[in-house]
Structure 1
C-alpha cells in the first residue's frame, strides 16, 4: 500500500509515467473504493474504502497484540485472513492434547451472554471465544439466548460472543438448534463453495426449515 501510494504521488508529479495500475488506483481512491491492487492482497470483502481502512487498522492491531502478548481471550474472527484455518488449528490442538482421532472430531458452538470483549475476564477452559459475527435473516433474543423473528427494517444484527468448542463427533447430540452457515461476506458463497467457513449451532425452538426459508446466515464481513 505504501509503495503504490508513493509511486502514485511520483506519477502525479510527473516524475514517472502513469501506468494502468496507478491510474486505476487513483480512480478508486477518488471514488472511495478499495483499489484492485490492494484487494488482491486482502481477504474477501465488499466494503468501500473508508470502512475497509477502519477494518484494516483493527486487523493490524489484533495481529500485533497476538504476536506480542499471545492469543487474545476473544478472537475477532472477521480480522483473520483465512478464518477456516483457525478453526482447523483449534480442532487439531485439542485432538493432540486429548488424544482424539482428528478425522472423527468436529466443533459445536454456543452463543454466550457476553455482548462485548470487555465482558469477558478470561479465556474459556475449552475452545475459544470469537466475535465479529453478524446475523442476517433473523434477530437475537438476549433473554432466551435464541433466534427470533427479524425486526422491521433491521437487516443485520451483531451476534453476541460465540463459544466454539471442539468435540468428538460421536458425542455430539444437539437438539433445538439450527445449523447456521457462517460466510466471509454477505455475498455468501459461489458455485465452488468458496466463502463458507463452518456451520454454527444456534439455539431455537422453531423448526429449522423456517430459518432456511428466511435465508438465515452469519457473516463475518458486512458492507459497513
Structure 2
C-alpha cells in the first residue's frame, strides 16, 4: 500500500522530470530554474532537489550510488509483490519502517484476537549473515539491513563487541522479530 504508492510516486517523478529535462536540453521546452538545478545537480553527482524529500526517502549518497540503491529498493518491493512475502524483509529499504512494524502487530492482533496495545516485539539476532539462506520463521518475521556504528558484532555470541580498527559501520545479522504479549515479554527477557 503506502510503500508501493511512495515508490510509484518517486518513479513517476524521476521519469517525468528526466523526459522534461531531455526536451529542455534539445530546446523543445523552456529550461526552468528547477530543470537547471536538476541539470547542475547531475553535473555534481548530487540528488536533484526535484527528487528529494518529501518524494524520496532520506539519503546522503552521491547520485550514482543513490540510483543503484533506488534500483535495489524497487527490485525488493517488486519481487515481494510478484512472489509473495520474503523470508526476510529488507527493513532499511522502507520509507516508513514503523508502518511495517505496526502492520506486523495488526496482523498478529487480528489472528489472535488480542488487543494491539497489549502486544510488543521480541527480537533475537540470528547467526545468518547471508539473506539468501533465510527461511521464513513459523512465527514473526526476519528483518535485515540494520547496522551499528562505532561497535562490532560477534555473530556466534550474538552480542556487540569492540569494533575493528578503521571500521565505522557493521551490518548486523538477520534479526528474528516476533510479536508477543507485553505480559510475556519479561519472562522471555529472563531466558
Q: TM-score range by the shorter chain?
A: 0.7 to 0.9
Change (3 A) 1:31 1:175: farther
CA apart distance, 1:116: 1.4
Structure 1 stretches of 4+ moved >6 Å? none
Of residues 65, 75, 98, the one that matches 1:84 is 98
Whose strand proportion is higher, 1 or 2? 1
Structure 2: 5+ residue runs without aligned partners?
Answer: 1-13
Summarize the alignment of residues 58-77 of structure 1 with structure 2, pairs less than 5 Å apart. 58-77=72-91
Of residues 127, 137, 158, the one that matches 1:113 is 127
Higher RCO structure (Cα 8 Å, ≥6 apart): 1
Distance (whole Å) between structure 1 residues aligned to residue 184 and residue 169 of structure 2 = 33
Quote the residue 1:142 is aligned against: 155
Distance (whole Å) between structure 2 residues aligned to residue 38 and residue 105 of structure 1 = 37
What do you get for the CA RMSD once the two structures are aligned? Answer: 1.4
Whose helix proportion is higher, 1 or 2? 2
Of residues 93, 117, 137, the one that matches 1:124 is 137
CA apart distance, 1:67: 1.3
CA apart distance, 1:108: 1.9
Structure 1: 5+ residue runs without aligned partners?
Answer: 177-224
Change (3 A) 1:175 1:51: farther
Distance (whole Å) between structure 2 residues aligned to residue 117 and residue 154 of structure 1 = 22
Distance (whole Å) between structure 1 residues aligned to residue 109 and residue 83 of structure 2 = 25
Quote the residue 2:7 is aligned against: none
Summarize the alignment of residues 12-23 of structure 1 with structure 2, pairs less than 5 Å apart. 12-23=25-36
CA apart distance, 1:160: 0.6
TM-score (norm 1): 0.75
Spell out, residue by residue over 1:30-78, the C-alpha distance to the aligned partner (whole angstroms, 9 max, x if none).
1111111111311122222111111111111111111111111111112
Describe the SS at the equivalent of 1:22: helix
Distance (whole Å) between structure 1 residues aligned to residue 84 and residue 25 of structure 2 = 43
CA apart distance, 1:11: 1.1
CA apart distance, 1:172: 0.7
CA apart distance, 1:106: 1.1
> How many correspondences in the alignment?
175
Distance (whole Å) between structure 1 residues aligned to residue 149 and residue 123 of structure 2 = 18
Spell out, residue by residue over 1:91-132, the C-alpha distance to the aligned partner (whole angstroms, 9 max, x if none).
111111112221111112111011111222x21011101111
Distance (whole Å) between structure 2 residues aligned to residue 54 and residue 61 of structure 1 = 11
Distance (whole Å) between structure 1 residues aligned to residue 130 and residue 56 of structure 2 = 26
